[in-house]
Chain A
Amino acid sequence: MKRFDIVSLESPNRAPLRIEGFLFGEENTEGPSIAIVGAMSGDHINQLYVASGLVEYLRIKEEEGKISGRILVIPAVNAYALNMGEKNWPLDKTDLNMMFPGYAQGETTQRIASRLFETLKGYDYGIILEGRRDQGMCLPYVKLIQSGYEDLECVKDLGMGFIHYRPHEPVETAMLQYNWQLWETKAFSIVFGKNGSIDQNDTDQVHTAIVRFLSKRDILDFHVFEGHKSNILDPNRITIVKASRAGIFISKVRCGTAIKKGEVVGVIMDALSGKKLEKMLSPCEGIVTCQYAHPLIFQNSIAFRIASVELCCQIDAKRE
């Protein structure tokens, strides 16, 4: 294992920002290469935890002689934010994952992104550990955006339950996954957990999926058990349950729960009078993939996303 600074940036007063990388495998290996990027945001604690857990795991595997490719793990990109409870770059509040591919002569966060991206270019595979961009939590899933260079086949080797495969949104052109794909790395994101916390089940599941991927792609010489045959989802296969009222939100289900049509999934209470304002019923049969994770909910917020059996049947029937 080689531990080194990918980026070191002086600050006016605090200690320099260091983005550290952990490199495993032989320098001139014939095997494939992969880079794994952890917390880009100061509230991506699950992502930090999975990445640092991988560093320790791979250190042991390297000692056992099990590494046949080359692996770079970057547990924390935004240590400055992590160390002060911020989400974004602490001075100008810009999101590092909106700065790619970066610009070496630009603003501070563009320079950081640029130096990081220089290191990330050229890897065969790229995994981005991402948190959600809203107040939700979800069943761990793979996010693969369509840039024209994406690779759906390799993503299946993670053996995760769900792959969200969809066209990219305009803002995503400034994100790492899109730019990494354009530079011909088979890049994808694993989105999981609730921001600002550690979920042991979810993080274990993601760790296992990454180890499975490393093994199946001949980067790690190690037996693994088979995972799921992944379901490929897009927004048309998801049914949304929204809060018709704002108030205190109590969920009655968990992400991953299989539910029937008409089942009670959540309740909203008036935050002052305690009166029950809404009983939320599932409009379809399916699996809860995502739910609102803050105890106070806003009117019209998405409380649940449900992978709908009906919608999948309809879409698949049309295709035949």
Chain B
Amino acid sequence: MGLIEEVITIELPVGESFRIQRCRYAPKKEEGIKRISIVSGIHGDELEGQYVCFLLGQWLRNNPDKIRGIIDIYPAINSLGIDSITRSIPFYDVDLNRIFPGSKNDFLPAQIADGVVNIMKGSDFAIDIHSSNVFLREIPQVRIAKSQEEILVPLANLLNIDFVWVHDAVTVLESTFAHAMNTIGTKTLVVEMGVGMRLGKAYGHQLLDGLLNLMAHEGILDIEPLAVRMPIQSHVGEVAYLNAACPGLFVPAIEHCQVIEKGSVVGHIVSALSGEVMDEVIAPISGMLFTIRAYPIVYEGSLLGRIFGKTNGDSQ
């Protein structure tokens, strides 16, 4: 059984404290061993990570003799948000993942960020599990900034995910949890999977296998590595974005993320008022539809999907 502790406590104005809880699993002998932090709920409307935390905790409770390193599980970083369907830090309405590394001398969200960095400092690895948002559904993927490619891609390949997306550095992303942790030497992977406010059991089990495999490779668990899938690598192709050409109700023609052909119909934008089909959304390239819109109301520009296609010259 893990040790449950309140690792961050900040007094709230009316008879309550903000808290972040951790469940720690550790072997008897703690010297010279590796430490991993499993993190979820930086965004309060993303719940897939909570299920992964449960599955991992359940596995560890059943296999205490296999534990060779420290495994810290943090299911709810934005605990106020998780319990109230609020993506940002309530009251302040600030996206916690845009103010890392935070500061003790600043407002509540910055203090939370600072506290999170400090309690996780010294971890060898951190896995930050996100589930997109309420608008988009994602297949299990890891997103890595270009500058971290060499260090992190080999690790991501162990995670039993479908896609590794290496993206160009964006200055704004320097204020994320992952950037802050990578900067201080904790190898941190950002997993995106599923959709906000819901949980999908299959993805949870898929990532559990990946976590067990990664920990087996790193000697944190004394088990045989698992047979995991090799993710598709973004450098072999390109990402096509499907944005709504007009406002309306988006009705997908495809239920789940899947491989599609160039020219096939991804969905329609329709008018609920006039009964007209306003636009047919067509795949501009062949490839894997790894993102699809889950929330039907769209404006011009709303993201409807993303397709990853291998580069062969025939894409847009």
Contacts and interface: CB of A to CB of B under 8 A. Distances in A.
Interface of A: 9-13, 87-88, 91-93, 98, 105-111, 133-135, 169-171, 173-174, 240, 242, 245-248, 271-272, 296-302
A246 B12 contact: yes
A10 B247 contact: yes
B11 A246 contact: yes
B303 interface: yes
A98 B299 contact: no
4 shortest interchain CB distances as A-B pairs: A299-B11, A296-B13, A108-B301, A246-B11
A98 to B, nearest CB: 7
Interface stretch (B27-35, B55-63, B98-106, B155-163): B98-106
A173 to B, nearest CB: 4
20 contacts: A12-B247, A91-B297, A106-B243, A107-B302, A108-B299, A108-B300, A108-B301, A135-B91, A135-B107, A170-B172, A240-B105, A246-B12, A247-B13, A248-B13, A271-B15, A296-B13, A300-B10, A300-B108, A301-B107, A302-B105
A244 B236 CA distance: 54
Interface string B141-169: 00000000000000000000000000000
Interface in B281-302: 297-302
A108 B302 contact: yes
Nearest to A292: B107
Interface string B68-107: 0000000000000000000110011110001100001111
A13 B171 CA distance: 35
Contacts of B298: 12
B303 to A, nearest CB: 6
A170 B299 contact: no
A242 B105 contact: yes
Given A10-B300, A302-B107, A170 B14 contact: no
Contacts of B241: 105-106
A300 B104 contact: yes
A107 B246 contact: no
State the main secondary structure of chain B at its contact with A. loop
B267 interface: no
B301 A298 contact: no
Contacts of A298: 10-13, 91, 107-108
A109 B87 CA distance: 18
B279 to A, nearest CB: 12
Contacts of A105: 241, 243
Given A134-B107, A170-B175, A300-B111, A271 B11 contact: no
Contact of B299 (A9, A88, A174, A272): A9
A245 B10 CA distance: 9
Contacts of B99: 171
Nearest to A178: B171
B243 A272 contact: no
Given A134-B92, A298-B13, 10 more contacts: A9-B299, A10-B299, A10-B300, A12-B299, A87-B93, A91-B299, A111-B300, A135-B107, A299-B11, A302-B106
B219 to A, nearest CB: 35
A246 B13 contact: yes
Nearest to B273: A13
Contacts of A246: 10-13
B171 A173 contact: yes
A108 B295 CA distance: 15
B203 interface: no
A172 B168 CA distance: 18
B21 to A, nearest CB: 18
Contacts of A169: 175
B15 A272 contact: yes
B41 to A, nearest CB: 17
A298 B288 CA distance: 47
Contact of A171 (B93, B107, B172): B172
Given A170-B171, A174-B172, A271 B301 contact: no
A9 B297 contact: no
A272 B10 contact: no
Contact of B11 (A242, A245, A272): A245
A107 B243 contact: yes
